[in-house]
Amino acid sequence: MRILLVEDDKELCDTTAMQLQLAGYETDCCYRGDDGFYYGTEYPYDVMILDRMLPITDGLSLLKSLRQKGIMTPVIITTALDGLRDRIDGLDSGADDYLVKPFAVEELLARIRAVTRRPGRIDAANELTFLNLNLDIDKHLLFVTGKESSGITLSKKEAALMEYFLRNSNQTLPRNLILSYIWGPDSEVEDGNLDNYIYFLRRRLKALGGSVKIQTVHGVGYRLEENT
């Protein structure tokens, strides 16, 4: 799981990032709101942790801008402002959770687990599901509910791509974000490689006969949705 941490207190940011990395989360850091917007729109993240009081662009304005751009990544706002109106403003701006400083890292980790545990997507630590489609992350096994024995074992790249779709089901994923997430932000992989893997996964889904399909969103990217 990849996390973006935007915090202007560099010492707190670096300490929190280290704790997140020790917990097994890949973490990127920045200290200003404008940098947070750049990272949040250019690279894919599973969770964003935004300080409310940021230089250049404050946390709530940053969050509103991300939502307006269609970035629906779960967001946890962190702040020393703990009034009822402050919490309401944070949630109304599009935050998924609101954590008051100072906080224990154990609570932050619990909040991260909570915002990524979306209904209908994650059944267990190593299994993702959407409608009747399931992916065993450890085994790279894709199967339809009730038909585990007839599942299909995916390649490493296929499994990574399917995991990304399942974690973001019913969301349009731009091509550049998919390429960055699966092959890395500095990779020089060609667009055609993504098209090939989409083709492979579509064949897998067709063979399984489930109720899920990968829809092309022309000029943008792809979306995992119900096959109606």
More confident residue, 95 or 83: 95
Q: What is the pLDDT of residues 173-198, one digit of tens each?
A: 888 888 877 887 666 777 788 999 99
Domain boundary among 89, 116, 143: 116
SS3 212: strand
Query: How many C-beta atoms surround the C-beta of residue 199 within 10 A?
Result: 11
Question: 117-173 pLDDT, tens per residue?
Answer: 654 344 444 788 888 999 988 889 999 987 766 789 999 899 989 988 988 888 888
CATH code where residue 146 lies: 1.10.10.10
Structural domain of 26:
2-116
More confident residue, 32 or 137: 32
Compute the distance between CA of residue 28 and CA of residue 215 in angstroms, rounded to an integer. Answer: 30
Which of these three, 116, 134, 165, is where a domain ends?
Answer: 116
186 and 142 assigned to the same domain: yes
Q: How far is CA 216 from CA 52, 96, 225, in A?
A: 36, 28, 10
Whether 157 and 76 map to the same domain: the answer is no
* Residue 51's CATH number: 3.40.50.2300
Predicted confidence (pLDDT) at residue 7 exceeds the cutoff of 90:
yes
Kindly report the pTM of this predicted structure.
Answer: 0.56
Three-state DSSP string of 85-141 = HHHHHHHHCCCCEEEECCCCHHHHHHHHHHHHCCCCCEEECCEEEECCEEEECCCCE
Q: Are residues 59 and 33 in the same domain?
A: yes
Total of domains in the chain: 2
